[in-house]
Amino acid sequence: MIRLLNRLLRSLDAAEIGVLACLGAIGLVLYAPAAHAERVRDLGQFQGVRSNQLTGYGIVVGLPGTGDDNLEYLTQAMRGVSGRMGLQLPPGVQPGLKNAAAVMITADLPAFAKPGQRIDVTVSTIGKAKSLRGGALILSPLIGADGQVYAMAQGNLAVGGLGVTAKDGSNVTINIPTVGRIADGATVERAVATGFADADTLRWNLFTADFLTAARVRDAINRALPGTATIEDGVTLALRLPNEADTRASVMAAIEMIDVSPAETPARVIVNSRTGTVVINAAVRLSPAAISHGKLTVRIDEDPTVIQPAPFSDGQTAVEQNSDIQVDEEGKAVALFQPGASLAKIVDALNLLGVTPGDLVAILEALKQAGALKAEMVVI
C-alpha cells in the first residue's frame, strides 16, 4: 500500500499535490468534531426587544364570604366603582364587603405587543381576604413604569389553591388560595416604542459580561456579515443593520442563529449559607495540597451507684460515682491533590473523606486561604 502511494505521488506534479493537500485540509475541517457552541440568541438579546412589567390595583367580587370585609381602602375603592356606575353610597355608610377583596394585578407586556392583543395577568390579595376562588376581577387599568396605562384587565379568576376553615378554628390550606390568574385577562391599549426600525445602530447585550465571548460573537457575526459588528464594552455589541424593517428583521433572525463557542466560565465555588448547598463548576483547579479531615467525638456517660450500709451498722448511705469516657476519632484518611486536579478528582477525594456540606465549606475556605484553590468563592 505504501509503495502504491509513493508511485502515485511521484506521478503527480507539484500543483496537483498542492490541490490534494488543500482538499485534505478542507476534509479535516468538515469532519472534525464540532466544538461546544451555542447560538447567539442563547448568549444575549437585542437591546429594547424585551418585555415590560405592568402593575395595577383592582377589586375582585363574587367571593363566597372570603373577602376583606370592612377594610377601609377596599370600602373607598368600592365607593369609587359605585360612583362610576352612577350609584352614590350615603355618607357614613360602611358596607360589609365579605364578598369582595382588594388585589394587586401584575402582568408582562411582551415586546412588539400591539393594541388589541391580549396578555395573561396575575391577581394577588393585599388585605385580609382568605381566598379568591370563584371571584371575578372588575375592569382595572395596568400601568407601566412611566405612569401610562398600557392595558386593561378584567375577567374570572382561576385559583389553584384551596382553603377551608371550621368553626372551632381548625383549617386546611392546599397551595395558595390568595393568588389567581386570568388567561388572556388583559387587553393591550398602548404599544411600547422599541426603536427597532428607527435606530441606525442596534445594540446586542450579553447576558453575562465577558470580553472573550463578546469578541467571539463579533468575529462570528463579521464572518457572516462583514463590517456589521463592533464591541462597545464587555457586554454590548453595536450592529449596523439595514434601515428597512423587513430586511432588518431577516438579518436579526440570521444573526441569532449563528453558532459561537463562548469563553469558559470563570472558576467559581457557590456556597448557599442557608441550605448548605455547595456547587463547584468544572473550571475549578487545585494546586498541590493535602487534606486531612476528621471528627473527634468525646462521650462521657455518668452511672452513679448507690451503696447501702450493712444492716444494724453505723454506716450511712453513699453514692459512688461511675464515669465512662469514650473518645472516637473518625476520618483519619489524608487526601492528596496533584497539580491541576479537576472537578472529578476533587469530588472523589472529598467523598473519600466522607465530608458533610458544612465540612466541605470549611475545607474549601481553608484551601482558598492556603492558596491552593484557584477559584472565586461566592456566598449567597
- Residue by residue, pLDDT tens for the chain (380 residues) are 445 445 544 554 444 444 334 334 333 333 333 446 788 888 888 887 888 899 998 888 888 888 777 666 666 666 666 656 655 666 665 555 678 888 999 999 998 889 999 999 999 988 888 888 889 998 889 999 888 999 999 999 998 866 666 556 566 667 788 899 999 999 999 888 777 767 778 888 998 888 999 999 999 999 988 888 999 988 899 998 888 888 888 888 888 899 998 888 888 888 776 776 777 777 777 777 666 666 544 455 656 777 777 776 777 777 776 656 554 555 555 555 555 556 566 666 666 666 666 677 777 777 777 777 777 777 77
Cβ neighbours for 371, distance < 8 A, ≥ 6 positions apart: 287
H helices then E strands: how many in the chain? 8, 25
> CA of 323: how far to CAs of 242, 299, 300, 308, 317, in Å?
88, 10, 7, 20, 20
Q: What is the pLDDT of residue 85?
A: 61
Any residues with CB less than 8 A from the CB of 20 and at least 6 apart, and which?
12
d(CA 244, CA 250): 10
pLDDT at 292: 64
Helix (H, G, I), strand (E, B) or coil at 208: coil
Q: What is the pLDDT of residue 80?
A: 63
Q: Cα separations (Å) of 88 from 43, 67, 78, 102, 140? A: 57, 22, 10, 20, 20
Looking at residue 357, its pLDDT comes to 65
- Whether this prediction's pTM lies above 0.85 is answered by no
Query: Are 290 and 335 within 8 A, CB to CB?
Result: yes
